[in-house]
Structure 1
Amino acid sequence: MVGPEGEQVGIVRVEDALRLAFEADLDLVEVAPNARPPVCKIMDYGKFKYEAAQKQRESRKNQQMTVIKEQKLRPKIDDHDYETKKGHVVRFLEQGSKVKVTIMFRGREQSRPELGFRLLQRLGADVADYGFVETSAKQDGRNMTMVLAPHKGSKTRAKAQQDKANQTPPPAQA
Structure 2
Amino acid sequence: MEDTISNELRINERIRVPEVRLVGPNGEQIGIVRVEQAMQLAREHDLDLVEVAATARPPVCKLMDYGKFKYENAQKARESRRNQSNTVIKEMKLRPKIDEHDYETKKGHVVRFLRGGDKVKITIMFRGREQSRPELGFNLLKRLADDVVADGVIEQNPKQEGRNMHMVLAPTRKKSEARTEQEAEKARRQARRADEAAAEKAEEARLREAAKKQPRKKKRGPADNMDPDIDL
Q: TM-score, structure 2 length as denominator?
A: 0.47
Residue type of the partner of 1:148? L
Residue type of the partner of 2:167? M
Whether 1:168 aligns to 2:177 is no
Aligned to 1:78: 99
Residue type of the partner of 2:163? R
Q: Please say which structure displays the higher CA radius of gyration.
A: 2
Aligned to 1:87: 108
Whether 1:146 aligns to 2:167 is yes
Aligned to 2:89: 68
Residue type of the partner of 2:166? T
Distance 1:120 1:105 in 2: 13
Distance 2:161 2:123 in 1: 10
8 Å contact kept, 1:94–1:155 = no
Distance 2:176 2:112 in 1: 11
Cα displacement string for residues 75-115 of structure 1 (whole angstroms, at most 9, x for unaligned residues): 11111111111111001001000000000111110000000
Residue type of the partner of 1:152? R
Residue type of the partner of 1:168? A
**Which SS does the other structure have where 2:191 is aligned?**
coil
Tell me how far 1:137 sits from its aligned partner. Answer: 0.8
Distance 2:118 2:185 in 1: 21
Tell me how far 1:67 sits from its aligned partner. Answer: 1.1
CA RMSD of aligned residues (A): 3.1
Distance 1:114 1:165 in 2: 42
Tell me how far 1:155 sits from its aligned partner. Answer: 4.5
Percent identity, aligned pairs only, is 58
- Give aligned pairs, total: 127
- Where do 5+ consecutive residues of structure 2 fail to align? 4-11, 14-72, 203-232
Aligned to 2:125: 104
8 Å contact kept, 1:94–1:158 = no
**Which SS does the other structure have where 1:100 is aligned?**
strand
Residue type of the partner of 1:136? N
Q: TM-score, structure 1 length as denominator?
A: 0.61
If asked which structure has higher relative contact order (CA below 8 Å, sep 6+), I would say: 1
